[in-house]
Amino acid sequence: MDWNKETLAAVIDHTLLKPQAKPEDIQRLCEEAINYSFASVCVNPCYVSLAAKMLTGTNVKTCTVIGFPLGANDTSIKVKESQRAIEQGAQEIDMVINIGMLKSRELAYVGKEIKEIVNVATMGNGIVKVIIETCLLEHDEKIIACKLAVDNGATFVKTSTGFNGPGAQINDVALMRKTVGENVGVKASGGIRDYQAALSMLAAGANRLGTSSGVVIMEAVKG
């Protein structure tokens, strides 16, 4: 793939999930996303309506996070959170799996939760990216998590929240791509702070990048 400014911008989720983010920060995030034609902005749920309003009439989508950053909310809360986000204008939902349930092999629980959130999103013409939090999983758990996401209708699997340890790693992205095949997306997120890191994740198999350094990355693109 020849990554130029247009093609690279189209795979970046311009992200601001810091707890201290203010409305004016979200407004600036949206303005940057429009300027560079990023794929989406990814914001905390309280800012979905603000972002959706600012992005109306553009090709930039509104993305939010569910059960973030621990994934440990009751399923009913995650589902309600997803419903509310879709109602307020979210088009992409990045949900954190219940990591403890995965590790205890309560796979029916994990799968059902993914499926319920996928159902909510698709009814609102949205998509779901399943955050598996690779830094907390063993090799076989990463594979199991990816397969659960695929089997229950997720559009993407995503490496990390960026809040619970190291973010995206090249070997994890490659494993996730191998596991899900070519028809499901892989989003690398967490610690992607420059152009070379972005290219490395894309070369490993990612086709979406979650980063708060989108502007820095774009300014490093030649041509």
Integer Cα distance of 25 and 19 in angstroms: 11
SS3 label, residue 144: helix
Query: Burial level of 100, CB count in 10 A (0-12/13-18/19+)?
Result: middle
Token readout for 18 is 């810091």
The catalytic site residues sit at 94, 158, 187
Q: Which residues of 43-82 are buried (b: 16+ CB within 10 A; e: fewer)?
A: bbbebbbbbbebbeeeebbbbbbbbbbebebebeebbebb
Number of Cβ within 10 Å of residue 183's Cβ equals 7
